[in-house]
Amino acid sequence: MPSEIDLRESRAGFVKRVIQILMLVCVFAGFNLGYAGQPDAQNIAAQPIVITDIAGRTVTLPKPASRVVLTQARYFPVLGMIHPDPVSILAGWSDEFKNSYAEEYAEYQGRFPAIDRIPVVGQHTAASFSVERALAVKPDVVIMTAAFAGIRPNTGNAAASSSPLIRRFEAAGVPVVVVDFFIDPLNNTVPSMRILGQVLGYPERAQAFISYYETHMQRIAQGVATLKHRPDVLVHAHAGATGCCNSPGVGTFNEMIQYAGGHNIGEDVLQTPTGQLGLEYIIRRNPAVYVATGTGSNRLKGLVVGADVAPADAQQSLRRVVQQSRLQPIMAVQSGNAHGIWHGFNDSPLNVVFIEALATWINPDAFSDVSAQKTLDEISERFLLVPMHGTYLIDWEKP
């Protein structure tokens, strides 16, 4: 028969074991509480995702997308700002990233060799896009820009129903999510990033970039609000690739120039998003700031900037473009306020880099604390899966 001492020791051992079990329960509960504020993949996947896209349409997905058709492959790096392995979720895309941004494509090819195996379901225009081929890869969502769909953003279901592309996918039971970085980027970049975060199941990654973006855009807005003069600006789009001089009219680039504190001389004569300006008109307006854009795809004639481009090569191409276009007499060139920049910033959430660069070139004193190159480096390091190595901005230097 156990003694009283034995019984006390037995009870003590039992209590000790109970305490140990309770402590383990608390530890595991603590782990769960620690993640409670961060939606993990399983929790997100367990709930339907209800999205209001840029067209104003309500789209419901049963779970984060895992088989995406990307109608314009130029946005692949944008998906990479949100999803850690965007190649793994792409069921199909267009050919434009490989063909129009060959240097950037090669950079991603080195990081993601499987990128070569993504099925191509169309070219980069709506007219060349094959709905049949897109449906054949069995997507669970199609990501499409408003421009590609042929609709205006924020116009609702009625306008969206006028898009043949959207109608055909919806008739096949495939949801379409509309975003926009081109038609109205100043108003739609942030909600488009938020939408992509929802679609791909990484809302916190999208929000991290949104917070960074909004901080930088607010700095420019505050600086411009105190300015009393808006210098004339010529943005020479795809400089050297066409005759002199392709310029923004109304729309995307024009709004960015305005936001950065300048006046677009193309706005005064062009009623379309882009158009040709005559040399006589440009010389008569005598813009104080000249900005050439290019992608590096036309190395014989155009502005050469982008991935793996050396500064000396970019500088030489800028001088060549100015000379070929006979723009040496304008004030911007004579004063050294002529620049080159990568055209890809235009239709991208990295438009903040373009706007910061414009602001510092238009009003350097008001934005002496702003560095577009530093912003690009920070975005490259913090948000991009493949850093942007090369020359993406260049200033005029006389030979």
- 3-state DSSP assignment of residue 240: coil
pLDDT at 301: 79
Structure tokens at 241: 């690739």
pLDDT at 245 over 90: yes
Residue 62 has pLDDT above 90, yes or no: yes
Residues in CB range of 145: below 8 A, 6 or more apart:
71, 72, 75, 178, 179, 180, 181, 182
Domains and CATH numbers, the chain: 49-201 (3.40.50.1980), 229-395 (3.40.50.1980)
Residues in CB range of 331: below 8 A, 6 or more apart: 286, 287, 288, 337
Please report the DSSP string for 75-118 in residue order: GHHHHHTT-S-GGGGEEEEESHHHHHSHHHHHHHHHH-GGGGGS
Question: Do you find a cis peptide bond into 244, omega within 30 degrees of 0?
Answer: no
Per-residue pLDDT band at 269 (split at 50, 70, 90): very high
Report how far residue 190's alpha carbon sits from residue 211's, in angstroms, rounded to the nearest whole number. Answer: 9
Q: What is the mean pLDDT of residues 302-326?
A: 94
- Read off the pLDDT of residues 163-200 as tens digits, 9 standing for 90 and up: 999 999 999 999 999 999 999 999 999 999 999 999 99
- The sign one gets for the Cα dihedral 96, 97, 98, 104 is positive
| CB proximity list for 276: less than 8 A, separation 6 or greater | 242, 243, 244, 245, 246, 247
- Give the bridge partners for 129, in sequence order: none
User: Which residue shows structure tokens 């190395």?
Assistant: 299
Confidence (pLDDT) at 298: 61
Cβ 53 vs Cβ 179: under 8 Å: yes
pLDDT of 71 reads 96
Model confidence over 89-98: pLDDT tens digits?
A: 999 999 989 9
Query: What is the predicted pLDDT for the residue at 158?
Result: 61
Could you report the per-residue pLDDT of 340-361, keeping only the tens digit for each? 999 999 999 999 999 999 999 9
Q: Point out which residues pair with 88 in neighbouring strands.
A: none
DSSP reduced 3-state for 257: helix
Portion of the chain with pLDDT greater than 70, in percent: 86
Rounded to an integer, what distance in angstroms lies between the CA atom of residue 306 and that of residue 388? 8
Kind plus residue range of the DSSP H or E element containing 345? none
Question: Does residue 319 register a pLDDT over 80?
Answer: yes
Range with the largest mean pLDDT of 236-245, 249-258, 261-270, 297-306: 261-270
Give the position of tokens 């917070």: 211
The pTM score is 0.86
pLDDT at residue 17 greater than cutoff 80 = no
Each residue's pLDDT tens digit, 322-333:
999 999 999 999
Q: Which long-range contacts (CB under 8 A, 24 or more apart) does 76-80 make?
A: 76/108, 77/104, 77/108, 77/348, 77/384, 77/385, 77/386, 78/181, 78/193, 78/196, 78/348, 78/349, 79/196, 79/200, 80/108, 80/384, 80/385, 80/386
| Of the candidates 128, 131, 204, 163, the residue with the CA atom closest to the CA atom of residue 56 | 163
Q: By C-alpha distance, which of 240, 382, 369 is closest to 302?
A: 240
pLDDT value at residue 5: 42
Instruction: State whether residue 230 is helix, strand or coil.
Output: coil
Q: How many residues does the structure list for the chain?
A: 399
Integer CA distances (angstroms), 356 to 66, 154, 391, in order: 35, 27, 16
Give the separation between CA 8 and CA 45, rounded to whole angstroms.
51
